[in-house]
Chain A
Amino acid sequence: MAAAERALAKDPAPPLGRRVLSRVLADGLVVAVVLGWWAMAKTLPASVLPTPFEVAEQVWLLLTDKVYLGHTAASIVRVLLSVLLALAIGTVLALLPAGLPWASDIVHRRIQPFLNSFPSIGWAILAVIWFRVSDFTAIFVQVAILIPFCLINISAGLKELDREAIEMARSFTRSRIKVFFKITLPLLLPYLVGALRIAYGVAWKIAIVSELFGTGTGIGYLMGEAQQSAKPALLYACCFAIVLIFFAGEKLVLDPLSRRVRR
């Protein structure tokens, strides 16, 4: 109680004036950036910096126009599939040493560092050579990039698991499968959601490179097209569309999922 009071005394709710100023500064920055961008766009050639309106219009097209929407949807589906596949493979790899202790160095000293240090563009180019341009290539590359992020997070979760709870469960049943589904998995859920969140972020941030080389559809492909055919508004729009989709995924799926798991 005393500690809580001390903490409260040190972290009192900021006064209204400060809260308003804080919001003005935060939203003011956004407005200032857009205005600064607009002013700069008037002095620079459109091939370097299109106006915010042109970019906003293009973003709208990306999210509504039938052709562009196909590209956007292709990226979303690929990212979702890759994230789920990477999560499944990462979980299996992380759990492997629990069942086969001799495999711990194979997973943590060989597979994890190998996948973790493998350059993303390396996967993209090799996959195109191996599998040609296809949906499978793009998903393969994304999964290969995302696995180490899931593996690291789930392994960290496994280390933090409450051993006593698992031991106690084992005294109730000999069935390892039952213990896994009733005790281990629920305890591991926050880390699985954490891995999901990281993988989702990395997928949009880094793994989208797979579409630049590995497919003929998707936002990554459109970015390459926009750069080659000098359509800067489309390039900017692709960047902002990724930001919007990323936020939508976080707010609509990941945040509610995190809240549910915490409960």
Chain B
Amino acid sequence: MQTPEARTLAGIARNPAVAAHLFTLMALGAWAIAATQVPPIALSGPWTTLKALGAFVTDPNQLAHTAYSLLHVGVAIFISFFAGSALAFLAHYVPVTALMVHGRISPFLNAFSGIGWSLLALLWMGATHTTVIFSISMVLIPFALVNMKEGLATLDRDLMEAGRSFTRSGLKRFAMLTVPSLYPFMFATFRISFGVAWKVALTAELIGGGSGFGYLFDLARQDYRTPILFVVILLIIVFVYVTDRFGFEPMQRRLQRHYGGR
């Protein structure tokens, strides 16, 4: 039952969801108006961007670059996850290495600049896929390491003790108790890594690669093809938003209900 106030336009606009949709429409309107006021090189309007998007998604060459970017991000996330987790496990199971991992390796990787890795990787390996994947992985490793460290610190010791009374096999305990307890943290690692990876992937591809969105970005920048810049940005925003909102968010809620933690 709607209140009289809610029935008025102002009342409807005060509904957070409606207000958000109105905001989106206003932002699109502002974008369209701004595009008519400045040269096309500076701002590609919504309609021009939409047309460029149509051409983009039907061009096999552009789609190949999209696939390369996905490949770079996907492989880097997995490499950084395994490298970061391996370091976190090493520090946890061999405590004498904890200072080395958390006191030396982690702060160093955490403080090293992303462009630094890209430029150095270019120097070492040339413009290749390896360069791009390496640069993204090096930026992501500390995120995985810190997250998995947090996860290992919250392991239920009583549960681990109980596991010991059931089996002597460390491998079995690890696979059946430790790893499932870490699921929420593993998931959080993937979620954070996914967001950060797209932030640095383009830079890595622009500096050190001959393929992917970053490479397209560089070409578009040099030729002043602003609509392509907007298409790439739009695709990344939509891709990251949709994956996070409709993939990661519901999955994380389910994991939280099942395992607790984050």
Which A residues fall within an 8 A CB radius of B? 10, 14, 18, 21-23, 25-27, 29-30, 47-49, 101-106, 109-110, 113-114, 116-122, 125-126, 129-130, 145, 201, 204-206, 208-209, 212, 220, 223-224, 226-227, 232, 235-236, 238-239, 242-243, 246-247
Q: Can you name 28 A-B residue pairings with CB atoms under 8 Å?
A: A18-B95, A21-B96, A22-B99, A25-B96, A25-B99, A102-B13, A103-B16, A103-B19, A113-B245, A117-B236, A119-B202, A119-B236, A120-B202, A120-B203, A121-B206, A122-B217, A122-B236, A125-B221, A126-B233, A129-B226, A201-B111, A206-B113, A206-B200, A209-B203, A212-B115, A223-B119, A239-B112, A246-B111
Are A238 and B116 touching (Cβ within 8 A)?
yes
Q: How far is the CA of A110 from the CA of B27 in the complex (A)?
A: 10
Residues from chain B with a CB closer than 8 A to the CB of A110 are 20, 23-24, 27
The contact size tier of chain B is 35 or more
Residues from chain A with a CB closer than 8 A to the CB of B124 are 48-49
Q: Quick one: which of B100, B199, B229 has the most chain A CB within 10 A?
A: B199
Are B214 and A121 touching (Cβ within 8 A)?
yes
Residues from chain B with a CB closer than 8 A to the CB of A247 are 107, 111
Residues from chain B with a CB closer than 8 A to the CB of A21 are 96
Are B198 and A205 touching (Cβ within 8 A)?
no
7 new A-B contacts, CB < 8 A, other than A232-B123, A247-B107, are A22-B99, A25-B96, A121-B202, A125-B221, A205-B113, A209-B203, A242-B112
- Chain A residue at minimum C-beta to C-beta distance from B10: A102
Partner of A206, one of B199, B213, B221: B199
Is B67 an interface residue, CB under 8 A from the partner? no
Q: Quick one: which of A47, A48, A243 has the most chain B CB within 10 A?
A: A243
Are A102 and B15 touching (Cβ within 8 A)?
yes
Is B17 an interface residue, CB under 8 A from the partner? yes
Interface SS of A by simple majority: helix
Are B111 and A243 touching (Cβ within 8 A)?
yes
Partner of A117, one of B14, B27, B195: B195
Residues from chain B with a CB closer than 8 A to the CB of A120 are 199-200, 202-203
Are A129 and B41 touching (Cβ within 8 A)?
yes
Chain B 82-120 near chain A by CB (<8 Å), digits 1 or 0: 000000000000011111100111011011111110011
- Min CB gap B27→A, angstroms: 8
Given A125-B217, A130-B42: A23 and B115 interface contact (C-beta under 8 Å): no
